[in-house]
Structure 1
Amino acid sequence: MSKVPNQTSTTRHAIVVGSGLAGLSAASQLIAHKTPVYLLERSAKPGGNSMKASSGINGAPTKYQPGPPLSDTSFYDDTVKSAGAALSTATKQRESLISTLTNSSSGAVSWLVDEKGVDLTVVAQLGGHSFPRTHRGAGQTPPGASIVTTLLKNLNESPLFHLETSCVVTDVLKTGDEVTGVEYSCGEETKVLNGPVVFASGGFAGDAEGMLAAYRPDLAGFPSTNDPRPGSQHLLTHVGAQLLDMESVQVHPTSFVDPKNVSSPAKFLAAEMLRGEGGLLLRDGKRFVNEMLTRKVVTAAVTSIPATDSLPRQWDVLLVLDEGVYERTASHVGFYLWKGLMRKTTVADLGDGAVAGIQAYADIVAGASVDPLGRETFGHWKLRDVSPDSVVYVGRVTPAVHFTMGGVVISPQSEVLDKAGIPIKGLWAAGEVTGGIHGDNRLGGSSLLECVVFGRKAGDQAAKYFAEHARD
């Protein structure tokens, strides 16, 4: 039973829950359709985890990719391969979602660049991808922050847009078979909003004592790149939503271990593009994995030996960049250096065997030998003759809980589906709160893409629903 609210708005709005990129994309489409929007965010500042995204957004084919125009035709196949064994369940549903994601990716990049003015002209190849397709800007601002701040600025210029922060949705309201609004709390005050609802509230990777503990108790003690806050899928199952892939949790292989606070359970992500642009991983002075494999495979290689530290559980792996990689990633590395997460040093500082280990990699990059680990792309690594005095940029990294692939089931139009696979009227969802798209492993760059593709579809559908019910 819901509490009696202190305030109830009789005005109908389209309601968006969550101000990450999925919520902002939905709100942008709603405003484009002249639909009044009320966006609710539980944090004090908008942007969510999307604000932190550092590698970029996938798109294929686009005019910014290298090679002949329209030559990247493997995005769908790469995503299916990455999803792994999960495709054996709800196969048609997943394939439909993946098809929507990948086929809409070029349009998503175009929308951000051409309509919103975001710079996405630099392209890198990340792990699990067979082609460079992860787009970011050429400037100093990371892609997530660049996209989020641009959309927020545009939205704040509209009189139809209202944002309320530090407010937690406590109930999704339903009359008969139709969602009609939400109840939410701001401090001691409880309010109600009426209208169709788009849920873009994120995943549960930071819910260590709640949903994460329930679905993946084996990850107890792992650090996380997420803020500690509860998941919100239960609000949607309460109105009949179906869940999928809740055990599929992505542990990112490279989060920084801050030398000033080694035991902190909260980690800062080491962007995957650092490896994509040529960076390598060393353990005891030697490479031990193809750095361009999927996050799941690289994580498994790191965790194949006992952890170095027990609380939090973390390993001792070095991420190493040369001057060529640094030049390509200077905006990111400069920030990591400033934060003290990386240091500029020489190979001699990396311990016994590092000269030989890095030289072996340099020989592979130069084409003098074939990588026994199978790596075939090396970004912008340019160091050839490795000596103890060779300059490198290095940081200690360890796996950390990063992303939850599971959540509520949606249609390709972002409709939230009940247990019978029927859309719940008046309710849509997009982003990490949903499940079924990524399966066992999410490709880097597909989180921002998922937010734009399905957030925009949710906004379009909610706007149509709002207009059709304006006379109700």
Structure 2
Amino acid sequence: MTQASQKPVIVVGSGLAGLSAAYEALKAGATVRMLDRAPKPGGNSIKASSGINGAGTQYQRIAGITEDALFYDDTVRSAGQRFSSAGSSSVVDRKALVSLLTSRSCSAVDWLVEEFGIDLGVVAPLGGHSIARTHRGAKGTPGFSIVSALLKKLGDSPEFQLTNAAEVLSLITNQNGAVSGVRYTHEGETHELHGAVVFAAGGFAGDAKGLLAKYRPDLTGLPSTNDDRPGAHGILEEIGAEFVDMDSVQVHPTGFVDPKEPEARYKFLAAEALRGEGGILLSHEGKRFVNELGTRAHVSDAIMRMPRSSSENSRQWDVTLLLDPGACEAAQGHLGFYIFKGLMEKKKVKDLEPSVIQAVDDYARAVASGADTAFGRKSFGHWTLQAGEGNREAEVCIGRVTPITHFTMGGAAFNEAAQVLRMDKTPIKGLWAAGEITGGIHGDNRLGGSSLLECVVFGRVAGSQAAKAVVGV
């Protein structure tokens, strides 16, 4: 079959999962049609700010980490009860999915570096990780760097076509229930496109009045890092896809409260890397209250147990994120943007509230001693500030943060071949999925840095498998 006569691989969604699938499909000899409902490509992936996880990478070795055999265990621990209680009756094989995710993490990082020339040479610790394994570049945010590089490479191929502002309405199925294409609207007209389908349309954390309200009404009123838009899950549900963990929604502990629009629902994420590089969190009383590198769920819960800020129109907390000069320098790739946007500012220690100065001194003493007896933090990043009067002229970076809805761990049940599953565990032919639309990997709580990773690992699998269906190899 020639490329001119074969059906394309249709990729729904232009985040990293869809882009990874598209690239692998092209390499396997398929043509690719990508449809995305947003006016610009990149999805939520382009906003990802902490990095991508990789265990056993060359960059860890350069950083002095000679062995990393705990990624699987860290992921399982973070997944919590949903993983440990999963038995043979579960639609998804969680052990197999996590094994694939973690075992291919090193090759995922290498792929991005070698195929696209992306800088991922900085390795940092994030909450819930037993070791530093989250990779990013020295400049810019990792999501933008990665997505931009893939879009550029894909755009160079005449066999790739991206259509933005294209709303997929439904999947086309044949008499046997196999998926054979999509129906979509674009510029006011409805079209049909036939081919193998990779569904990578993202999660539903921005669907405040729809799926989020249905599965997690207790989160009503929280701001979000996601644009306000409905989830695409109903399209898969209509053809018999099974869903798992739909009530498992991640609340990220740190979204920036913009002083210009403090009650805006959409908020920029305060990257977890800011805490990984040494940043601390302070309560409205100016006191530390948590191990800043605990899991996202642990830190979020600690914040939400405190009194809320006084606003009646929004569900927010008054928490300060503070980085000392060493942490500021290490996180400069992020800070330039945050300071430009007015989300963080620099202040001399002497100009802080007395309670905050006391907290800074107390933490500096803990760092110097190597033991955080108050909260058990084990990694202090690049914090260099010493305690006492000698630090008063030093400049720290501070911003106000609050918990936000960020990521949905639940989604369509799928397997290691990225095939979407029915309730009886049988795959729906002609359909693959990857990224946040899928469920079963992260359980109760996703580790920071594993979102971009799952997009690469399972996006690549989905793209290569879909290509086999249309190329016939």
TM-score bracket for this pair, using the shorter chain length: over 0.9
Residue of 51, 59, 62 corresponding to 1:64: 59
- Cα RMSD after superposing both structures: 1.5
- What are the within-5 Å matches in structure 2 for residues 331-410 of structure 1? 331-367=333-369, 369-387=371-389, 388-410=392-414
| Per-residue deviation, 1:91 | 4.4
1:96 matched to which residue of 2?
96
Q: Is the CA contact (8 Å cut-off) linking 1:358 and 1:386 kept in structure 2?
A: no
Deviations 1:66-100 (A, max 9, x none): 56565011000000000011114444611111111
1:150 matched to which residue of 2?
149
2:70 matched to which residue of 1?
74
Residue of 436, 441, 445 corresponding to 1:437: 441
Q: Is the CA contact (8 Å cut-off) linking 1:171 and 1:235 kept in structure 2?
A: yes
Q: Percent identity?
A: 55
Q: How many angstroms apart in 1 are the aligned matches of 2:334 and 2:357?
A: 25
418 and 339 in structure 1: CA distance in 2 versus 1, 3 angstrom threshold: same
2:297 matched to which residue of 1?
296
Deviations 1:40-63 (A, max 9, x none): 010010000100011100000101
Q: Is the CA contact (8 Å cut-off) linking 2:360 and 2:387 kept in structure 1?
A: no
| Matched length | 460
1:203 matched to which residue of 2?
203
Q: Is the CA contact (8 Å cut-off) linking 1:62 and 1:70 kept in structure 2?
A: no
Q: Does residue 414 in structure 1 map to residue 411 in structure 2?
A: no
2:451 matched to which residue of 1?
447
List alignment gaps of at least 5 residues for structure 2.
none
Q: Does residue 253 in structure 1 map to residue 253 in structure 2?
A: yes
Residue 158 of structure 1 aligns to a residue whose secondary structure is: coil
1:4 matched to which residue of 2?
none
1:275 matched to which residue of 2?
275
2:170 matched to which residue of 1?
171
Q: How many angstroms apart in 2 are the aligned matches of 1:35 and 1:369?
A: 55
Which residue identity does 2:80 align to in structure 1? G
Deviations 1:389-410 (A, max 9, x none): 4321000000000000000011
| Per-residue deviation, 1:353 | 1.1
Residue of 315, 321, 324 corresponding to 1:319: 321
Which residue identity does 1:293 align to in structure 2? G
Q: How many angstroms apart in 2 are the aligned matches of 1:370 and 1:445?
A: 25
Which residue identity does 1:74 align to in structure 2? L
Q: Does residue 32 in structure 1 map to residue 33 in structure 2?
A: no
69 and 365 in structure 1: CA distance in 2 versus 1, 3 angstrom threshold: closer
| Per-residue deviation, 1:306 | 2.8
Q: How many angstroms apart in 1 are the aligned matches of 2:109 and 2:333?
A: 21
List alignment gaps of at least 5 residues for structure 1.
1-8
Deviations 1:215-257 (A, max 9, x none): 0000010000000010011111111111000000000000000
Which residue identity does 1:77 align to in structure 2? D
Q: Does residue 130 in structure 1 map to residue 130 in structure 2?
A: yes
Q: Does residue 244 in structure 1 map to residue 244 in structure 2?
A: yes
Which residue identity does 1:156 align to in structure 2? G
Q: Is the CA contact (8 Å cut-off) linking 1:19 and 1:40 kept in structure 2?
A: yes
2:8 matched to which residue of 1?
13
Q: Is the CA contact (8 Å cut-off) linking 1:10 and 1:194 kept in structure 2?
A: no
Which residue identity does 2:146 align to in structure 1? I
Q: Is the CA contact (8 Å cut-off) linking 2:282 and 2:319 kept in structure 1?
A: yes
Which residue identity does 1:230 align to in structure 2? P
| Per-residue deviation, 1:352 | 3.1
| Per-residue deviation, 1:189 | 0.5
2:49 matched to which residue of 1?
54
Q: Is the CA contact (8 Å cut-off) linking 1:410 and 1:429 kept in structure 2?
A: yes
Q: Is the CA contact (8 Å cut-off) linking 2:29 and 2:471 kept in structure 1?
A: no
Q: How many angstroms apart in 2 are the aligned matches of 1:200 and 1:68?
A: 36
Which residue identity does 1:57 align to in structure 2? I
Q: How many angstroms apart in 1 are the aligned matches of 2:400 and 2:274?
A: 13
Q: How many angstroms apart in 2 are the aligned matches of 1:384 and 1:129?
A: 27
Q: How many angstroms apart in 2 are the aligned matches of 1:370 and 1:185?
A: 56
Q: Is the CA contact (8 Å cut-off) linking 1:11 and 1:194 kept in structure 2?
A: no
Q: Is the CA contact (8 Å cut-off) linking 1:124 and 1:276 kept in structure 2?
A: yes
10 and 205 in structure 1: CA distance in 2 versus 1, 3 angstrom threshold: farther
Q: How many angstroms apart in 2 are the aligned matches of 1:370 and 1:207?
A: 39
Q: How many angstroms apart in 1 are the aligned matches of 2:167 and 2:373?
A: 51
| Per-residue deviation, 1:113 | 0.7
Residue 130 of structure 2 aligns to a residue whose secondary structure is: coil
Q: Is the CA contact (8 Å cut-off) linking 2:325 and 2:394 kept in structure 1?
A: no
1:6 matched to which residue of 2?
none
